Amino acid sequence: MFDFQHTILKTMKIFNTFLLLLFVSTCFSQTTDESTIRQIYNKALGEGKSYSMLDYLSNKIGSRLSGSPGAAAAVEWSRHTMEDFDFDSVWLQPVMVPHWVRGQKETGRIVNSRKMGTVEVNVCALGGSVGTGPEGIVASIIEVKNFDELAQLGTKGVQGRIVFFNRPMDPAQINTFAAYGGAVNQRGSGASEAAKYGAVGVLVRSMGSNSEDYPHTGGLRYAPNVPQIPALAISTKHADLLSKILKEDKGVQFYMESHCEILEDAPSFNVVGELRGSEYKDQVIVVGGHLDSWDLAQGAHDDGAGCVQSIEVLRILKSMGYKPKRTLRAVMFMNEENGGRGGAKYAEMAMKTKNKHIAAIESDRGGFTPRGFTISADTATRRKIQQWKPLLEPYGLTDFSQEGGGADIGPLAPQGTALIGFLPDSQRYFNYHHTQADTFDKVDKRELELGSASMAALVYLIDKYGLK
């Protein structure tokens, strides 16, 4: 009996010692993580390079539409910047991209209005649209809110006319990306839907949150075996004016003129910078943004901010002397805006090299105040990331509830990659998205740097603990 009791006491002592060591180890690990994350933020906010990088990309290079000289200059800038930061390796990944040019400024004009006569309105061609030619198009115009209304009009109500899609983003949606998603199909598919019924052109209300003078461009997709007709975006302010005039005068006409062209595909590149892993070098964590932008402005928020934040993630960790367990990559994807070829090419090459991409983080929602991350992954992975929330909440990262990743990292999904989207505050994003207003002066330095640190903190945690 004595021996049995002694054994029990000895076993309990060993177990209690184990629990104490586990507790101390957990506390030490958490303290270390808190200290490292604090250091990441100190580096970003006190010694950050993201804002100066964005200054150069926006003001020295400017717009970067796929196939343009600006896009080519941005590729070289990205490569040299990551080489100057002494990443372990930097390389270019060739990809053929669409090449569309806007040509001279577009014209939009309300004509034959009984009350107002002729009214100039602010328009721009949608990306990928065919042009009208120098003679332009003048036709009666019919307003619809959605494709169901278009179908109800049919060929009899549409043929020979310009179709005006005027469904606004839903202002009641707190998440402006949800509002955008509820309206954007008219921009993407409206031209082909209208062409099925014989329309000669399309006018689309801009994807903007507020009443604005300037139009928002964005890509359209022509359906196969359907006539390709010209498509323009009209500013939200002038869309409201046109709608008001149409209610008072059904006979009003519209004149549209654009000079855009679709050229042969052009050679371009993704740009990849890498810090090699010390233990699991074949496991890859990607951070990225898209290097291309629309041609109306500088692409500062969309997506210059995401590019410089991604480079800054690797720069911060390297400057701290951090030795990653897994391979970390910053990828500047080409052609997100009008084709998605860069993301597809990167995923294709990832399959060929057989690197295991355990996680990919994309920043493509502007350089605004960080709120959290969207996550598309299996339940266990999602829960593991959410377990780190207490470490990140002190920095304003509280929202880990939404699904989502990003357009450029999406093609990695079949490999089982956890797709994560950097989630900043969304309320101002669609004031600038795809417009002439997307310029460097609209980006706040501190907000941009907080975003870089937020992404770097999550990369650190994924690298240290993995996702399985």
CATH no., domain 38-97+264-465: 3.40.630.10
Selection from 353, 304, 298 nearest residue 91 by Cα:
353
Residue 20 burial (10 A CB sphere; 0-12, 13-18, 19+): exposed
Q: Are strands 253-257 and 231-234 parallel, antiparallel or unpaired?
A: unpaired
Domain 103-259 has CATH 3.40.50.12280: no
**pLDDT band at 42; cut points 50, 70, 90:** very high
pLDDT at residue 215 in the model? 98
**Rama region for 198: left / alpha / beta (φ>0; ψ in -120 to 50; rest):** left
Candidate from 4-13, 42-51, 137-146, 201-210 with smallest mean pLDDT = 4-13
> CA 332, CA 398: separation in Å to the nearest integer?
27
Selection from 265, 197, 253 nearest residue 229 by Cα:
197
357 in Cβ contact with 417 (< 8 Å): yes
Summarised one tens digit per residue, pLDDT across range 408-421 is: 999 999 999 999 99
120: how many CB neighbours lie within 10 A of its CB?
11
pLDDT at 5 over 70: no
Summarised one tens digit per residue, pLDDT across range 254-311 is: 999 999 999 999 999 999 999 999 999 999 999 999 999 999 999 999 999 999 999 9
pLDDT averaged over every residue in the chain: 94
- Same CATH fold, 103-259 and 38-97+264-465? no
- Tell me which DSSP letter residue 296 carries: T
Cross-strand partners of 210: none
167 in Cβ contact with 183 (< 8 Å): yes
Q: Is the peptide bond before 295 cis (omega within 30 degrees of 0)?
A: no
pLDDT at residue 31 in the model? 77
Of 212, 336, 362, 449, which one is the catalytic site residue?
Answer: 336
Residue 336 among the catalytic residues: yes
Summarised one tens digit per residue, pLDDT across range 370-398 is: 999 999 999 999 999 999 999 999 999 99
The domain limits of the chain are: 38-97+264-465, 103-259
> When comparing pLDDT for 28 and 313, which is higher?
313
**pLDDT band at 30; cut points 50, 70, 90:** low
Distances (CA, A) of 421 to 68, 287, 372: 28, 10, 9
Which tokens sit at 363? Answer: 């920043």
Which tokens sit at 201? Answer: 């052109």
Q: pTM of this prediction?
A: 0.92
pLDDT at residue 284 in the model? 98
**pLDDT band at 21; cut points 50, 70, 90:** very low
pLDDT at 12 over 60: no
